[in-house]
Amino acid sequence: MRFLDRARADIVSLRGYFRALRAVQPIAGAPARVFPTLIDKLARRHGERPALLSERETFTYRGLADRMNRYARWALAQGLDKGDTVCLLMPNRPEYLAIWLGVTRVGGVAALLNTNLVGQSLAACIDSVAPKHVIVAAELSPQFDGAEPFLETKPCLWMKGEGASRLPCIDHDIDKLSGAPLDGNEIRRVTLSDPALYIHTAGTTGLPKAAVVDHHRLMLAVLGFAGILDARPSDRMFDCLPMYHMLGG
């Protein structure tokens, strides 16, 4: 019986492996096909079907693309050059994904900060990627305030959400921008070899270090994960991991 159970498990694993292999095989042949462009395609295909659900907000596929495009235009309006970094200190919510999708859509790099870090450790993570901007969730602003005195870099600071703060609220800028698909003058050439994310290591033997995740690795993770799970439109997945982590994000 154990042999049969093991054989069945091996067959399931092999099927998942081959599905993942089939899903990721076309990636290298389309160097300009990066994850944010997939969101545009999914928005056209699935429209008002739910994409991300939470207690704070719910995005349809079209709504997610809308928010992504607004943040992309915000990045362009801030003069963000290709390769410039935006740090994101925010707990799990659909808007979290929309922000880093928008930043990476126009060639920026999103640094996903561990929301459990404080003081010098948090400041060291920010300094390690030399960001041009840092976006802080309103509920985490006291945490950021405790780290700011240790910062060596001087990025532009933004607050996400309403609350008493000395920081400008990014929501006011985002609400004024269009969520329509980017036009030819706004689109920058972003390829699989370009960096997309900085995800920090655990720092068990020292301060956390920033690991670079390029668009190729990101596509491998997204499509490979979907292939292994045999994900289908009728499936619903619960994310209990922090979105600043590679697996949770």
Please write the tens of the pLDDT for every residue from 238-248. 999 999 988 88
pLDDT at 20: 84
What's the mean pLDDT in 211-218?
94
What's the mean pLDDT in 63-69?
97
pLDDT at 1: 61
Counting Cα atoms < 13 Å in the Cβ hemisphere of 178 gives 5
Mean pLDDT of all residues belonging to the chain: 91
Residues in the chain: 249
d(CA 167, CA 245): 26
d(CA 17, CA 12): 9
Helix axes 2-24, 215-229, angle to 10 degrees: 140
% of the chain beyond a pLDDT of 70: 98
Please write the tens of the pLDDT for every residue from 111-135. 999 999 999 999 999 999 999 999 9
pLDDT at 164: 60
pLDDT at 54: 94
Backbone angles phi, psi at 102, to 5 degrees: -65, -45
112, containing H or E segment = strand 109-112
CB 105 within 8 A of CB 36: yes
